[in-house]
Amino acid sequence: MLKAFPGIEVIGESDTIRGAVELIQTERPDVIFLDIQLAGENGFDLLEKVSGDSQVIFVTAYDEYAIRAFEVNATDYLLKPVDPERLKVSIERITGNKANPQSPKRSYEYTDLIYVKLNNSSSKFIRLNSVIAIVSVGNYSRLLTSDSKTYIVLKTLKQWEEELPQKHFIRIHRSSIINLEYIQKVERHSGNGHRVQMQYMAGTIEVSRNSASKLKSLNNIHKSR
């Protein structure tokens, strides 16, 4: 799959920790694509045996290692089977980081696992496509997910708006962003006002007048797919 990217040259492969350490020490790669399971060994052990500034992208069938991967400063975390478009995003991240270390924070892909720091100093990975709505709580935000869970995150709505994929998320009010995939219905109220009913959520979310027409058109596009 990496052959599709002219800027990437594969300079070695290994299915053991020992072989990988030797290759890394000899070749000094810019990027290491690292599996978790390596012939009975653990990919994390490799990182304790090598030094340098190689970026690390984990490639694994197991999502339960994601938090640990980012604790060791992994650049990305790909789940098998690897989707070519998702791999393209990873390549863009590493080439972008190399070309300009001060580049703006990347945007999320809809299928990403997102790493959220919670207000109780703990961290968790959740799937972005499970987020139904994000509601402002001052400098924090409240994430509501399709499994009926809520997470309070130290991130403003403006920050989320800059990072979320615009094809799927829209800010409908100064205090809320919603996922278009989970819209159940949009209804009128109080004359020209609108509210949106979301799947897996009780109650409704108010839509600002400026966002109402845009929401209707985007919602129709999603319904036609």
C-alpha–C-alpha distance, residues 149 and 130, integer Å: 10
Whether residue 112 is contained in a domain is answered as: no
The CATH number that applies at residue 7 is 3.40.50.2300
Provide the pLDDT confidence category of residue 210 given band limits of 50, 70 and 90.
confident
First-to-final CA distance of the chain: 28
The residue ranges of DSSP E strands in the chain, in sequence order, are 31-34, 37-38, 41-42, 55-60, 76-79, 113-117, 123-127, 131-137, 140-145, 150-153, 169-173, 176-179, 183-189, 193-198, 205-207
Alpha-carbon 99 to chain mean position: 22
- Provide the pairing of β-strand 140-145 with 131-137: antiparallel
Question: Where in the sequence is the domain holding 216, given as residue range(s)?
Answer: 117-224
Whether residue 108 is contained in a domain is answered as: no
pLDDT confidence of residue 1? 93
Q: Could you report the per-residue pLDDT of 84-113, keeping only the tens digit for each?
A: 888 998 888 787 644 444 444 557 889 888
Q: Could you report the per-residue pLDDT of 47-91, keeping only the tens digit for each?
A: 888 877 788 999 988 878 877 777 677 888 888 889 888 899 888
C-alpha–C-alpha distance, residues 111 and 117, integer Å: 19
Q: Are 8 and 2 in contact (CB under 8 A)?
A: yes
Residues in the chain: 225
Q: Report how many domains make up the chain.
A: 2
Whether residue 107 is contained in a domain is answered as: no
Q: Could you report the per-residue pLDDT of 12-45, keeping only the tens digit for each?
A: 999 889 999 999 988 989 999 999 887 778 888 8
Whether residue 183 is contained in a domain is answered as: yes
Whether residue 29 is contained in a domain is answered as: yes
More confident residue, 222 or 79: 79
With 0-12 / 13-18 / 19 or more C-beta atoms within 10 angstroms meaning exposed / middle / buried, residue 83 is middle
The CATH number that applies at residue 140 is 2.40.50.1020
Whether residue 77 is contained in a domain is answered as: yes
pLDDT confidence of residue 57? 92
C-alpha–C-alpha distance, residues 40 and 18, integer Å: 12
Angle CA 218–221–222, to nearest 5: 90
pLDDT confidence of residue 98? 45
Please check whether residues 210 and 140 belong to one and the same domain: yes
Which ranges of 28-163 would DSSP assign to H, the alpha helix? 43-47, 66-71, 84-99, 157-163
Sheet with 131-137, edge to edge strand ranges = 150-153, 140-145, 131-137, 176-179, 169-173
C-alpha–C-alpha distance, residues 134 and 121, integer Å: 20
Please check whether residues 76 and 122 belong to one and the same domain: no
pLDDT confidence of residue 183? 93
Please check whether residues 124 and 69 belong to one and the same domain: no
Please check whether residues 137 and 85 belong to one and the same domain: no
